[in-house]
Amino acid sequence: MCGIVGYIGRAEATPILLDGLRRLEYRGYDSAGMALLEGGTIKVRKSIGRIQNLAQVIADEPVAGSLGISHTRWATHGEVTNENAHPHFDKSGRLALVHNGVIENHQTLRMRLEEGGHVFTSQTDTEVLAHLIGEAFDRRGELSQAGLVEALREALRQVIGTYGIAALHADVPGVLVGARRGSPLVLGVGRGEHFLASDVSAVVNHTREAVYLKDYEIVALREEGFEISTLAGSDASFEVSKVEFTAGDVDKGTYPHYMLKEIHEQPATVQDALRGRLSREEATVHLGGLNMSNAELRDVERIVLSGCGTAFHSAMIGEYLIESLAHLPVECEFASELRYRNLPMTRDTLVFVISQSGETADTLAALRESQRKGHRTLGICNNVASTIARESDGGVYMHAGPEIGVAATKSFTSQLTIMTLLALLFGRIRHLSYGEGMGIISELEKLPDLVAKVLELEKHVATVARKYARAENFLFMGRQANYPVALEAALKLKEISYVSASGHPSAELKHGVIALVSEETPSIFIAPQDAVFAKNLSNIEEVKARKGPVIAVGTEGDTELERVADDVILIPKAPDYLTPILASIPLQLFAYTIAVERGCDVDKPRNLAKSVTVE
């Protein structure tokens, strides 16, 4: 949450920073600000609301300079006001700082600083950091890069919490500094210019060479170079990585919204999740990143899957898939719960944490807690440079490319594809025959085409969605692996349309949910032709008997659903283990259309942020 961008070079910083902030807006967008060094003093511009508002403030009152820092905020401490928007300043007003993270001991530090005569102008935890660094800098009196870095080091040693920061000081005009602990920070390496950002997508327009900072590292950047050191004071080793994607990958292209673009990318992203991983020769899956031999995989007797939000729904579907194809007991748990639970885990338990961003604070904490207890803990991530990807003992990358829309879409189906791969892998190690393995591989190979076929339903889904776009409450129902699909569909709708929506196992309807059924409340049933189809059909009848409108997602060729449901969306026939992927896509389109119809900001829903780096 919160995005930071810093620039030092020869170009005009403002357009670079504004463009970077726009690309980071998914990390938070309640207010934004920028500080530039102009003629020996720091000029600041701030605005509440979107980056566009900040751009307008700057257009009205321009600033110039080639050294600057900027920030887009997702409020944690202090309301959404101009005063609380970053950058924040120290006592002298000559140091400006932007921050992503939470300073847990900010109250204690603030009291101490106030006693020493520091006056605070915001309610943020961040302002404490600015004062602390400024205080250390002034005390040392060294107006140099080394002086600023030492001041940073001294201040950060007093801090408990998480931070990704960028700062500049008017007395050290050729230097931009940054540091990280717990919140991501990447350094963009240019020619005669350098960048700092929370995410590489903010700078990929300018450079594709990046250094991903590690926790407890401090960086000092100049036009012509940079130095990375540790909080303890020694030089740090680093690697310059080539960014895999291009600026084009993080553009909307011809689509009106990132979400729609990302929904349409799914035939390719599902293909990318499969690419090079299916072995026809052995009728199994190769996932080298797991860093486990077949013998070690054979010893796994239980799997724990964890994540937050959409990633948790993938875990729930993974539970069904792995249990049915591999006959392995699986438990899934919200990462925010797992980290504080004392879940009995035997030695042969294998833990997977699932996270698109690889930065979700609760998921990272669950990973660390599991590792602390000595469990091998693997990550399923999209962001290859993320903290979870780095800290896990191995894992599987989604390879879905950057996902910018706050509502997860393509990352979800990539996660489900990986869940199927894991189910096949564990199944083949345990009881699935060569023939059965080959059968699953053949089905998986068809998956990208089936996904493309589902997307052909776009117009029909939009027509259905428009019909119900004014409803204020939606019920989503499914059974077995399609129950979490119902949860995910409800989450998508809530996130981007702000209507009340809930997901339930179809049979639970009569245990309470049915009280909500009315002519105004549409029920969406995920009812493909599977072993529980007839049961779903009865549940649909129960809703219809109470005059509830029903939309059914069924299998192509189905004629029974038409008879009972008001509207029917038919997806291609596929084995049960692939249906969740195919059923999810029309429901993504359904949520998208309703949000557009209701005039909601699809890519940046209110109160949300894509990457939740606070607990």
Active site residue 600: no
Do the beta carbons of residue 587 and residue 489 sit within 8 Å?
yes
- Written as six digits, the tokens of 66 are 């080639």
> Taking CB under 6 A as the rule, which mask of x and - marks residues 84-103 in contact with ligand G6P?
--------------------
Q: Give the nearer residue to ligand G6P in terms of CB position, either 308 or 561.
A: 308
Q: How many helices (H) does the chain have, and how many strands (E)?
A: 19, 26
356 binds ligand G6P (CB under 6 A): yes
Please state the closest distance from residue 571 (CB atom) to ligand G6P, in A.
Answer: 23
Determine if the peptide bond prior to 402 is cis (ω within 30°): no
Task: Output the CA–CA distances (angstroms, integers) from residue 597 to 176, 472, 601, in the order listed.
Answer: 45, 13, 11
* Catalytic-residue membership of 308: no
Nearest C-alpha neighbor of 405 from the set 182, 180, 589: 589
Distance (Å, rounded) from C-alpha 503 to C-alpha 513?
Answer: 10
CA 145, 147, 152 angle in degrees (round to 5)?
A: 95
Among the residue ranges 59-67, 134-142, 167-175, 354-362, the one whose residues contact ligand G6P (CB under 6 A) = 354-362
Beta bridge partners of 252: none
Question: Considering the rule CB under 6 A, would residue 408 count as an interface residue with ligand G6P?
Answer: yes
Binding segment toward ligand G6P, per CB under 6 A, in 67-75, 247-255, 304-312, 534-542: 304-312
- Other Cβ atoms closer than 10 A to 430: 14
Among 122, 126, 363, 593, binds ligand G6P (CB under 6 A): 363
**Residue 168 or 361: which CB sits closer to ligand G6P?**
361
From 47, 355, 392, 480, residue interacting with ligand G6P (rule: CB under 6 A) = 355
| Interface segment toward ligand G6P; rule CB under 6 A; list 91-99, 401-409, 435-443, 507-515 | 401-409
- Minimum Å gap between C-beta 86 and ligand G6P is 21
CA dihedral 513, 518, 524, 528 (to 10 degrees): 80
Q: Does 387 bind ligand G6P (CB under 6 A)?
A: no
Q: Give yes or no for residue 612 binding ligand G6P (CB under 6 A).
A: yes
Query: C-beta of 377: minimal distance to ligand G6P in Å?
Result: 15
Q: Which of 156, 162, 160, 165 is nearest to 232 (CA)?
A: 156
Q: State which of residues 360, 482, 584, 613 lies at the interface with ligand G6P (CB under 6 A).
A: 360
Which string of DSSP letters, residue by residue, matches 66-83? SEEEEEEE--SSS-SSTT
Q: What is the rounded distance in angstroms from the CA atom of residue 17 to the CA atom of residue 4?
A: 9
Closer to ligand G6P by CB, 149 or 407: give it.
407
Does 451 bind ligand G6P (CB under 6 A)? Our answer is no
CB nearer ligand G6P, residue 51 or residue 367? 367
Q: Which two tokens stand for residue 455?
A: 């997307």
Report which secondary-structure segment, H or E, holds 551: strand 550-555
If binding is defined by CB under 6 A, does position 600 make contact with ligand G6P? no
Task: Point out the catalytic residue in the list 492, 494, 604, 610.
Answer: 610
Return the range that interacts with ligand G6P (CB under 6 A); candidates 58-66, 83-91, 305-313, 320-328.
305-313
Q: Does 485 bind ligand G6P (CB under 6 A)?
A: no
User: Quick one: which segment of 117-125, 130-138, 402-410, 417-425 binds ligand G6P (CB under 6 A)?
Assistant: 402-410
Q: x-or-dash pattern for ligand G6P, window 248-287, by CB under 6 A?
A: ----------------------------------------
Sheet strands (E) in 74-184: 88-89, 95-100, 163-169, 176-181
Asked whether 579 and 482 are in contact (CB, 8 A), the reply is yes
Q: Are 198 and 24 in contact (CB under 8 A)?
A: yes
Q: Of 17, 35, 221, 308, which lies in the binding site for ligand G6P, with binding defined by CB under 6 A?
A: 308
Nearest C-alpha neighbor of 509 from the set 518, 519, 501, 517: 517
Q: 438 phi and psi, to 5 degrees?
A: -60, -40
Based on the shown chain and the rule CB under 6 A, indicate whether residue 67 belongs to the binding site for ligand G6P.
no
Q: Based on the shown chain and the rule CB under 6 A, indicate whether residue 316 belongs to the binding site for ligand G6P.
A: no
Q: Which residues are catalytic?
A: 2, 610
The residue ranges that bind ligand G6P (CB under 6 A) are 307-311, 355-357, 360, 363, 406-408, 608, 610-612
